[in-house]
Amino acid sequence: MEADVALVSVGRRPRTEDLGLDKVGVTLDSKKRIDVDDHFKTKVGNIYAIGDCIKGPMLAHKAEEEGFHVAEAIAGKHGTINYDAIPSVIYTHPEVASVGKTEEELQAAGVE
């Protein structure tokens, strides 16, 4: 590969330690992410978690959609999230973005 500049990224991880979550009964998985159900509830019924501290990509757009979903659930409404419609962005110059499934994901699903 020839390049003028290379970006090396080692990843990110959630910042959930030292918050006292264990003192209120909120559990973490092996990667220190907060355990939630399909509606973002923790094992403590009135505590929800969204965004970078739960499983899934660490994207602001994902957290925003999850926040709307939780707010709707608290208001007694039924919300849905289409993760395939959430954009993924890499803030470089030039920026790189994608939305939807990859070619490999579509092939694996049998979509032509």
For residue 54, which of 37, 74, 72, 79 has the smallest C-alpha distance? 37
Q: Decide if pLDDT at 4 tops 80.
A: yes
Strand partners, 98: 88
- pLDDT bin (cut points 50, 70, 90) of residue 45 is confident
The pLDDT, as a whole number, for residue 62 is: 93
The average pLDDT across 6-20 equals 86
The three-state secondary structure class of 19 is: coil
Q: Which two tokens stand for residue 4?
A: 């003028």
What pTM was computed for the model? Answer: 0.78
